[in-house]
Chain A
Amino acid sequence: MPEQVDEELIRQSLEGNREAFGRLVDRYQKTVYNVALRMVHDEADAEDVAQLAFVRVFQKLRIFDPKYKFFSWLYRITVNEALNFLKQKKQFEPFDEESPGEPADREGVEEEKEELERKVQDGLMELKVDHRAVVVLKHLQGLSYAEIAQILEIPEKTVKSRLFTARTVLKNILLNKGLGKHG
């Protein structure tokens, strides 16, 4: 069903029906944007990356191989665009200026959750991009090891070992940020 509908929209897009491509954008823009956001952190940059990813998909639609899942291909392009973007932007600077530092008088469960999310995102940005990608795809997008392997074009075993290393490094990063202490 969803796969068939994707194929139909792709076929219509190739026939020049822009609205059909627009429906693909509607369907996947939240996913693409969130992958981009967790890879590059900045909202404006994430929008740029997401736009580039969709435009790249549109440009390459003619060569898309339907034996693969469209969303895997879309993920791959999104991750690649994010990696290209980060390469061009050089090294990520620790995102300290927007983190409040000391919690001060934060009250409410919502603020605590937001702070946790902010620190986790900051921690993600301190990972190497290869490790960040597997964490984003596995933990934030809920993809399987096989799907991640296909997206990143690496063996499944490499996905698992990269994820293991990423979790180990992330654990230490988050400990330094005051998260994950054992009670």
Chain B
Amino acid sequence: MDNERIIELINKEIDGTILPAERVVLEQYCSGSTEVQEMSRDFNQIASMLREVKHVDPPSTLKARVMREIAPEKAPHYQPLWQVLRTSVVDFFQPRTGFRFAYAFSGGVLAGIALFALFASISGRPSFESGDAIGTMISSSARNLQLGREFTINAGGVSGAVTTQHSEEISVLTVNFNASSDVVTHISYDPASLTMKAVRRSEDPGDHLVVRGGEIELSGVGNHTFAIYFGNISNSVAPVRVTILSSGNSLFDNTIALGPQAR
């Protein structure tokens, strides 16, 4: 008995692509073996049951969540510096590129400029503690982030969300809002549990960002997205208090758990 042929015919029967002559052959196999007969019947039954599994509509929040994540500064043509460097290294070893040296050189120049800009920006701003931020380059472990929690905000003319993500090494707190009046977001954390690595935010000249040991404050009007990258110091849950005020009114005041054990 040609098992491979039998399976092929049963597959075709299930798929609805079996030819009349092939069906005759399959029926001959079935009449000659109860095992083949049962296999054909079982597999057809399974296919029939699986057809009962309905396609469901996705949650109405899915698209909004995706679009929030792909905010303008994250457009495909924008690449964070670490990715430019990584791409340069990958391209360097691709024989099809004729620009390996150009990429490596430009990557090195960009890295130098970024480091210079970082130190230049830190040195003149007394409200930014250089010990809290270790540059704007995010390690590749940040790619394996698990989604944590999401809190929506919809009050006082402000709509948006606060979301958390976690990996073993990194916790990310993202605040996204659209406000018609000045909004102040204040974040306080325990430097013994979390190390602030970097802040990524939408470019808006009206923003005012202040960072000092254990405290982060961002104020501005309009559409804002900023993500704070924390390094997890220990495996335990680290609470972070997030308050959002608009015109002196408290719109959001929650203590959120970060860290690899938080969900």
Contacts and interface: CB of A to CB of B under 8 A. Distances in A.
Nearest to B58: A33
Interface stretch (A17-25, A69-77, A100-108): A17-25
A165 B233 CA distance: 45
Contacts of A85: 146
B59 A47 contact: yes
A180 B59 contact: no
Task: Name the prevailing secondary structure of the A interface residues.
Answer: helix
Interface stretch (B37-45, B98-106, B247-255): B37-45
Nearest to A141: B55
Interface in A7-21: 13-16, 18, 21
Given A18-B72, A30-B57, A47 B52 contact: no
Interface string B55-92: 11111011101110110101111000000000000000
Interface in A38-70: 38, 43, 47-48, 50-52, 54-55, 58-59, 61-62
A32 B200 CA distance: 29
Contacts of B57: 30
Nearest to B72: A18
A61 B76 contact: yes
A29 B63 contact: yes
B120 interface: no
Contact of B11 (A13, A32, A163): A163
Given A34-B56, A58-B70, A164-B7, A51 B146 contact: no
Residue with the greatest number of chain A CB neighbours at <10 A, chosen from B49, B63, B146: B49
A121 B53 contact: yes
Contacts of A120: 49-50, 52-53
B1 interface: no
B44 to A, nearest CB: 10
Given A33-B56, A121-B53, A140-B53, A25 B75 contact: no
Nearest to A166: B46
Given A30-B55, A84-B144, A140 B63 contact: no
B52 A116 contact: yes
Contacts of B45: 171, 180
B201 to A, nearest CB: 18
A170 B47 CA distance: 11
Interface residues of A, number: 49
B51 interface: yes
Interface in A91-142: 113, 116-117, 120-121, 135, 139-140
B67 A22 contact: yes
A25 B66 contact: yes
Nearest to A28: B58
Nearest to A121: B53
B147 interface: yes
Nearest to A32: B58
A62 B38 CA distance: 50
A113 B11 contact: no
A180 B53 CA distance: 15
Contacts of A121: 53
Given A13-B76, A171-B42, A180-B42, A26 B63 contact: yes
Interface of B: 7-8, 11, 38, 41-43, 45-47, 49-59, 61-63, 65-67, 69-70, 72, 74-77, 144, 146-147
24 contacts: A14-B77, A16-B76, A18-B67, A18-B75, A21-B70, A22-B63, A25-B63, A29-B62, A34-B58, A47-B65, A52-B147, A54-B66, A58-B69, A58-B70, A59-B76, A117-B53, A120-B53, A121-B53, A164-B7, A174-B46, A179-B49, A180-B42, A180-B45, A180-B49
Interface of A: 13-16, 18, 21-22, 25-26, 29-30, 32-34, 37-38, 43, 47-48, 50-52, 54-55, 58-59, 61-62, 84-85, 88, 113, 116-117, 120-121, 135, 139-140, 160, 163-164, 167, 170-171, 174, 179-180, 182
